[in-house]
Amino acid sequence: MSDPTDGQRLMLTVLFALWVIAFGYAFYAFATTIPGGGGFVRGMNRVTAYLGWQGIAGMVAIALFAVGRVWPKGSAVRRMTVVPIALAILHIAGILGVILWARTTI
């Protein structure tokens, strides 16, 4: 396997920056969005803002994981590209866990 090109390094850096921005902005959007609506759905716009930005971060994580496969096996860069996709999988597992827990406590 040949060494990654400068273009691939740039792509990796840009994707990491995009992922950090989207991941962090999800929490900012959740914290600063003013709850709207009334009754049962009050504040749902906060949750949708959070999940929307986490969805964007998840898509960038998939691209980042794919770009990271260019680096040699066992390298620090290749292992580092697994972190964003692992966090996305943990988010999905956590959300599914909350949904299943909520369904069993009724």
Residue whose token pair is 């866990």: 97
Query: How many residues are recorded in the chain?
Result: 106
Query: What is the reported pTM?
Result: 0.86
Q: How confident is the model at residue 106 (pLDDT cuts 50, 70, 90)?
A: low
**Mean of the pLDDT values across residues 47-59?**
94
Side-chain half-sphere exposure of 10, counting CA atoms within 13 A = 3
Torsion, CA 7, CA 10, CA 12, CA 16, rounded to 10: -160
Three-state DSSP class for 103?
helix
**Mean of the pLDDT values across residues 29-39?**
82
